[in-house]
Amino acid sequence: MARALPSGAGREDLIAAPATAPGRAAIAIVRMSGKGALQAADRLFGGMLQGAGPGRLVLGTLRHPETRGAVDSCLAVHWRAPRSYTGEDLVEFHLHGSPVVVEAALEACGAAGARLAEAGEFTRRAYLNGRLDLAQAEAVAHLTQARTEAGRRAALAQLRGGLSRRLMELRSALVKTAAELEAAIDYPEEDIPEPAVERHLGAVRDALKGVSSLLATSRRGRALHEGARAVLAGRPNAGKSSLFNTLLGRERAIVTPHPGTTRDTLEATIDLGGVPLTLVDTAGLRPDPEEIEALGIGRSREELLAAQVVLFLVDAMRPDPHAAEEYAALATLRHFIVYTKTDLAPADSAPQATLRPHEGTCAGELRISVKTREGLDALETALLREIAGTESEGGSLPAAASARQEEALRRAADGLEAAARNLRERAPVELVSVDLTGALSAMDSVLGLDSLDEDVLDAVFATFCLGK
């Protein structure tokens, strides 16, 4: 807790923050960036960095610049602008990992003229100084927050410029077409030759195909980063807790032959094909429950509304007249019907209990047995496809991974579709030019190449941790 450091938003301020997680550890890192970082380091580290080259660790003593009291015996390293993470002079102190040491180091940095950095301010400066584009900056946050191996790979691919390079390729080809159309506007007395119109239409179609391919990755990309939520619902004793435990791989929920065992919601997160999927086990839905069970059922209904997908479980071999009533409530929710306990009947027999699927919202009907594991692989595959699409949609690794990127790519696709339509219909060239300009602007906003509103940047970097 570095209370001594003032806060603020000046872009040229000297800023400092811990770059490692709070708590005790072997090593903690405190970094400073901005105008005067090297001079402040001289005061803190007795001038020992002056003779060291950039990127070279130096052993010394960090001291408070006013009291000259020793804070820690540590390592320090510096990088000079513009060849640093932020594009500014940047210094790091590698300290012993006690929270008390970190606080004392931050107080010393404050006495040397630094203020406490805001969340994401180091990466924000990297973007503003041209070290990263905005898509790469978002990937930094995704990488630090990755919860699965697939999420890590996807974030790293974007940080290395996977999305940026592809957009720049598409943009470059489109800019040439837009420039030729602008030239045609300047000379309205000359009609555009038919071969040129076909060439422009081909270029726009190619760009639309590329943008659509990137847009197709957003569903999986967002799922890898944001995760998803699936709720297990159904009548008492339908097998919800048994399926919950099986998917989780351990006994998390109590399972008994008696209905109504689950009185409250239980949740846990699994790695489903790289997607962090939160499973929610709920109280069995039934009329006239006792008071405590009623509270659990109320929470179950709340969870249904928050779910990305619902698994509605039905005992396959035990007809339940109330199952259809409870299923009716799912008419507007995306869901699967899952017939359970199929091991109790011959494999070729049809379930005795059946429901009429809601058209448009039912993603499919599945048969499973937790005891024999029949149908579980198919269930997981169907769940993953529903939540994240397939890897073949847009490539094996997702490129777009945030709602902001998805919305911008959708605007770009809309602009390109309008441009293609107007070219086909031989509309005035001014209309086509407006469409292409809008598409290019949307593509630029993904990378942060245009002038973005400060509120947009605040929203992007608010997701970052302190010191990154």
How far is the C-alpha of 201 from the C-alpha of 199, rounded, in Å? 5
Highest mean pLDDT among 174-188, 254-268, 423-437: 423-437
SS (H, E, C) the chain: CCCCCCCCCCCCCCEEEECCCCCCEEEEEEEEECCCHHHHHHHHHCCCCCCCCCCCCEEEEEECCCCCCEEEEEEEEEECCCCCCCCCCEEEEEEEECHHHHHHHHHHHHHCCCEECCCCHHHHHHHHCCCCCHHHHHHHHHHHCCCCHHHHHHHHHHHCCHHHHHHHHHHHHHHHHHHHHHHHHHCCCCCCCHHHHHHHHHHHHHHHHHHHHHHHCHHHHHHHHHCEEEEEEECCCCCHHHHHHHHHCCCCCCCCCCCCCCCCCEEEEEEECCEEEEEEECCCCCCCCCHHHHHHHHHHHHHHHHCCEEEEEEECCCCCCCHHHHHHCCCCCCEEEEEECHHHCCCCCCCCCCCCCCCCCEEEEEECCCCCCCCHHHHHHHHHHHHHCCCCCCCCCCCCCCHHHHHHHHHHHHHHHHHHHHHHCCCCHHHHHHHHHHHHHHHHHHHCCCCCCHHHHHHHHCCCCCCC
Q: What percent of the chain has pLDDT over 90?
A: 51
Strand partners, 337: 312, 365
Q: What is the dihedral of CA 174, 178, 181, 183, to 10 degrees?
A: -130
260 touches 285 (CB < 8 A): no
Residue 65 is predicted with a pLDDT of: 94
Residue 345 is predicted with a pLDDT of: 66
How far is the C-alpha of 391 from the C-alpha of 196, rounded, in Å? 37
Q: Which of 387, 266, 263 is nearest to 334 (CA)?
A: 387
The CATH class of the 15-132 domain is alpha beta
- Find the mean pLDDT for residues 159-178: 90
Count Cβ neighbours within 10 Å for each residue of 152-165 and write b for 16 or more, e otherwise.
Answer: bbbbebbbebbbbe
Model pLDDT for residues 84-110, shown as the tens digit of each residue: 999 999 999 999 999 999 999 999 999
CATH fold label, 140-217+399-448: Four Helix Bundle (Hemerythrin (Met), subunit A) (1.20.120)
Give the domain ranges of the chain: 15-132, 140-217+399-448, 224-388
Strand partners, 340: 315
How far is the C-alpha of 388 from the C-alpha of 225, rounded, in Å? 11
CATH fold label, 224-388: Rossmann fold (3.40.50)
Lowest mean pLDDT among 118-127, 339-348, 435-444: 339-348
> Per-residue confidence at 5, pLDDT binned at 50, 70, 90?
very low
Model pLDDT for residues 14-23, shown as the tens digit of each residue: 999 999 988 8
Q: Who's near 302: CB < 8 A, 6+ residues apart?
A: none
Q: Which of 310, 365, 379, 373 is nearest to 342 (CA)?
A: 373
- Find the mean pLDDT for residues 322-332: 85
Whether 262 has a pLDDT exceeding 70, the answer reads no
Whether 258 has a pLDDT exceeding 50, the answer reads no
Model pLDDT for residues 383-404, shown as the tens digit of each residue: 999 998 866 554 555 678 888 9
Is pLDDT larger for residue 311 or for residue 345? 311
pTM > 0.85: no
Lowest mean pLDDT among 63-77, 249-263, 376-390, 434-448: 249-263
Model pLDDT for residues 215-224, shown as the tens digit of each residue: 988 888 989 9
Residue 255 is predicted with a pLDDT of: 45
- Structure token pair of residue 327: 């299923």
